[in-house]
Amino acid sequence: MRQPQDIVLLLKAAGEVTRMRLLALLVQGELSVKDFTEILGQSQPRISRHLKLLADSGLVTRHAEGAWAYYRLNRDKTSGALAEWLMEHLDTDAAELRRDLEKLSGLRAAQQERAAAYFATIAQSWDKLRSLHVADSALETAIVEAAGQEPVDMFLDLGTGTGRMLELLDGKYREGIGLDSSREMLSVARAKLDAEGIEKAQVRLGNITELDDYHQSGDLVMLHQVLHYFDDPSIAIAHAAHCLKPNGRMLIVDFAPHDLEFLRTEQAHRRLGMSQEQMMLWVRAAGLDVASCRSFPPARDDGLTVCLWVLETIKPNTTKGV
């Protein structure tokens, strides 16, 4: 239960038009201050003031990442219920709110186009680029182990890029599908799979946010170095979880938190790595649990730490809280 003054704080925070617009946007997922300023067309100090009030009241949580800060709706009992109530009763077709949501999807589309343009230019050299940041061999050995001993009927590699994971796990799966939104990355993957005679795998053009055709089809689902291209990685995780068979396993490989800000501008990264706490929050929201997590220190001084998370579906009798 909350003290009366806390409830007043919560209601005051929600009870203002700009802050209500911010909350309506946050229902769509995590957003940065920069996203808000672009969508609402208001100055950064003004938006930050509103966000601070929302954060102080407990309606939203803040996560600092390099020079950016991300906000997400707090899904706890009181704040979450208030935000849900608001969204149920708020007419998102009202002109201003509809415009905000349209601007958000325009922003997301533009960000995806920037990433696609980046991958179109580096497709041929991606396999070399990947190993610049990461100690490949120890990590890859761990990935093969984490894929488990059980036979895998269907392996889904989401954001397959040049198909390295299909190649690495060849022999483990009966059928492998690599999905990616970049034609250029896929053409490198196709050539590689053909050259190596990997016949059980095929690659397809597609978006991780449109996976209805793969509902509960994968025994093993992989997101390898993909999540940091999403503004809100929890969206990609939720879509990937949707593709997992009830007893399936998901592997996520991505960077631990870092402060290499230039990766946003030079290599289309959106997130500067992800922490254990964030991952726990995102996977639990997708109905998954972290079975294990291993970190791999960089091979070079200017490299990055990479983490391998093994995820499984939450069993009905699991009562671990987040």
Ligand X SMILES: C[S@@+](CC[C@H](N)C(=O)[O-])C[C@H]1O[C@@H](n2cnc3c(N)ncnc32)[C@H](O)[C@@H]1O
Binding site for ligand X (CB under 6 A): 115, 119, 130, 159-162, 164-165, 180-182, 185, 207-209, 224-226, 229
Give Cα separations from 239 to 165, 203, 307, 320 (angstroms): 19, 18, 20, 23
Give Cα separations from 34 to 46, 51, 251 (angstroms): 12, 12, 31
* Of residues 94 and 132, the one with the C-beta less far from ligand X: 132
Tokens of 27: 């229902």
Instruction: Kindly state the smallest distance separating residue 216's Cβ from ligand X, in Å.
Output: 19
String of b and e for 183-213 (b: at least 16 CB within 10 Å)? ebbbebbbebbeeeebeebbbeebebeebee
Q: Which residues lie closer than 8 Å to 68 by C-beta, 6 or more apart?
A: 32, 33, 34
* Of residues 60 and 296, the one with the C-beta less far from ligand X: 296
Q: Around Cβ 41, how many Cβ atoms within 10 Å?
A: 10
Residue of minimal CB distance from ligand X?
Answer: 161
Instruction: Kindly state the smallest distance separating residue 10's Cβ from ligand X, in Å.
Output: 35
Instruction: Kindly state the smallest distance separating residue 209's Cβ from ligand X, in Å.
Output: 6
Tokens of 28: 């769509």
* Of residues 14 and 123, the one with the C-beta less far from ligand X: 123
Instruction: Kindly state the smallest distance separating residue 316's Cβ from ligand X, in Å.
Output: 31
Instruction: Kindly state the smallest distance separating residue 253's Cβ from ligand X, in Å.
Output: 7
* Of residues 14 and 154, the one with the C-beta less far from ligand X: 154
* Of residues 44 and 137, the one with the C-beta less far from ligand X: 137
